[in-house]
Amino acid sequence: MEGKSELTIGALGKATGTKPETIRFYEQIGILPEPARTAGNYRSYGAEHVRRLSFVRRVRDLGFPLETVRSMLALADQPDRPCGEVDALVLQQLHEVDRKIADLQRLREELDRLAHQCRGGHRMAECRIIEALSP
C-alpha cells in the first residue's frame, strides 16, 4: 500500500461497519467510485471513500432506498445543477426526513415510558407501542 492513509477493503469495512462484499456491490452499481489498485490487485481506499461510504451506510440505515442515496450523492457530485431542480429534490427529502423524525420521536416516547415502568418495579401494565405509530 502507498501510505498510512490508504485502506484495504477490509479496513474500509471496519471503519464504516460494512462487509467487503457490500463495498464491492456498491462499486458494481456505481454508488462508490472504483478505487486505485495495488501491484497485487488489492483495492486501495482513501479518506474520500471513507466519507462517502459512511454517508451511504447511514442513509441506508435510516431506511432510505439506494435510489434516494443516489440522488443525495448527486447533490454533492454535481454542484452546478440548476437551483430549481435541486430545490424540488431537497424539499422532497426534507419532507421525508421530517416524517421519519416525528415517527422516531413518538417511538422514543413510548419506549422511554416502558423503560421507566420497568425500572419503577411496576408490572408491565400496558404496552402502547403499536398505538404510538399507528393511526
Partner DNA sequence: CTTGACCCTCTAGTTGCTAGAAGGTCCATC
Partner DNA sequence: GATGGACCTTCTAGCAACTAGAGGGTCAAG
Of the residues 1, 11, 31, 90, which one makes contact with a second copy according to CB under 8 A: 90
Asked whether 12 and 49 are in contact (CB, 8 A), the reply is: yes
**Residue from 5, 28, 38, 105 in contact with a second copy (CB under 8 A):** 105
36 binds, among DNA, a second copy, none (CB under 5 to 8 A by kind): none
Chain centroid to Cα 100, Å, comes to 14
Residue 109 binds to DNA (criterion: CB under 7 A):
no
Question: x/- binding map, residues 52-71, to a second copy, per CB under 8 A?
Answer: x-xx--xxxxxxx-------
Among 5, 6, 22, 77, binds DNA (CB under 7 A): 22
Choose from a second copy, DNA, none: what does 18 bind? Cβ within 5-8 Å by kind.
DNA
- What's the chain's Rg over C-alpha atoms? 21
CA distance 16 to 5: 15
Only one residue has cell 439506494, namely 66
Q: Minimal distance in Å, beta carbon 3 to DNA?
A: 12
Contact mark string toward DNA, 41..80, x via CB under 7 A? xxx----------------x----xxx-------------
> Which residues is 93 bridged to in the sheet?
none
What is the 3-class SS of 43-104, one letter each residue?
EEECHHHHHHHHHHHHHHHCCCCHHHHHHHHHHHHCCCCCHHHHHHHHHHHHHHHHHHHHHH
Residues that bind DNA (CB under 7 A): 1, 8-11, 13, 18-22, 24-25, 38-43, 60, 65-67
